[in-house]
Each structure stands twice: as C-alpha cells, then as structure tokens.
Homo-oligomer: A and B are copies of this chain.
Amino acid sequence: MIEKLNKAFCKLPGVGSKSAQRFIYHLLERDRQGGLELSEALAETMKKVKNCERCRTLSEKTLCSICANNARDGSQLCIVETPTDIHVIEQSGVYSGKYFVLSGYLSPIDGIGAAELGLDELENLLKNEKVNEIILATNATIEGEVTAHYIYNLAKKYQIKTTRIAHGIPLGGELEYTDINTIAHALSGRKSYDI
C-alpha cells in the first residue's frame, strides 16, 4: 500500500522515491488529516477543473475569471504557452487585457501542429472579437519563436497589430553572468535612451 502511494507520488515532477517516502512518513506520523484533505482536494480538482471555453486556461467554470471580467480590456490579447504563464503575468500587475493559452508550442517533430495548439480556436476568437493588439508572450526558445512567428502571420491576415514581449538582461542581472545569447538579443533589441 505504501509502495503504491510512493509510485503515485513519483509521477509528480521533481519527486523521486526518497522525497515520496519523506512525504508519506510525514503524513502518516504527523498529519493524517492533512493527507486525507490532500486526497479529497486532488480528486475534486482532477474531476472538476476544465478548460475555459474562450481562452483555454484551466478553470472551474465555463468561462475563467479573467474572460468573465468585463472590466478587462478585450482589445488586447496576450498569447501564452501555459496557464502558469498567465499566473506569472498577473502577478506582475501591469497587464489588464485578456489572454489566450496555447497547448504548448509548435513542434511538428513531436506531432504538435497548428490544430493541436488550438490555433483554430484562436482564429475563431480573432474573427468574433474586436482585438486591436496581439501580444506574443511565448517563451524565448526556438519553438516559442516559431510559434510566435506563425501567430504573427495569422494576425497579419486579420490586420491586427502584433507585438512581442521584450527579451534582454533581467532586472538586477549583471552582464558578467548573463549568457551570450541574451546579451546578443539585448544589444540588437536596444532602444533609444530618452529621459
């Protein structure tokens, strides 16, 4: 029984057999109630959380809280790779538009094409809603760039302005410890210094 639970814990990212054992003994010896609560919360979440019909993020309702919020600016559409990315952007507190979540990134070699990404839904959304700006916030990886480029072409078809979030030296970062690709990106993406 404990071995079965150990294996189930090992399916979580970054959890190996030793950590799983620590979790199990901790729960059994000090917090059985916590273990039962975790079990219930897990079952409930796995069964009830679906995808938002409009932006495809994870949501308990048909429309997620951001899509359902009319105070948010529907003319801006930020495109991200995962629901976690929305969470991070929301924490930054500078964006008040809406989102669209891809199912990862274009990667034909893994069998992930335009349909799997949800680009058809994105196109429908662009047809039905009045979007003035698409902000591409896919990751700064090769796949993320390819995906961004693909969506840029799609947006061009509907004559929608497209922007890409800036890439460069992170705040508080030192040049000495920054990798060369980031430095190259930061240099080529330099802006005029106006006060």
Contact = CB atoms under 8 A, between A and B. Distances in A.
Interface of A: 1-2, 4-5, 8-9, 11-15, 19, 21-29, 31-32, 34-49, 58, 60, 82-84, 87
7 contacts: A1-B44, A4-B45, A5-B45, A25-B84, A28-B58, A29-B83, A38-B39
Interface centre among A35, A45, A48, A82 (most CB of B within 10 A): A45
A42 B41 contact: no
A24 B41 CA distance: 11
A11 B23 CA distance: 9
A87 B21 contact: yes
Nearest to A46: B35
B24 A11 contact: no
Report the copy number of this chain in the oligomer: 2
A24 B2 CA distance: 22
B14 A27 contact: no
Contact of A38 (B8, B44, B83): B8
Nearest to A59: B2
A24 B45 contact: yes
A35 B39 CA distance: 9
Given A1-B49, A5-B44, A21-B87, 8 more contacts: A2-B60, A4-B41, A8-B42, A12-B23, A12-B27, A25-B82, A28-B46, A36-B47
Interface centre among A15, A22, A41, A82 (most CB of B within 10 A): A41
A11 B34 contact: yes
Nearest to A37: B8
A2 B84 contact: no
A46 B58 contact: no
Contact of A39 (B24, B29, B31, B39): B39
A132 to B, nearest CB: 30
Contact of A19 (B11, B14, B36): B14
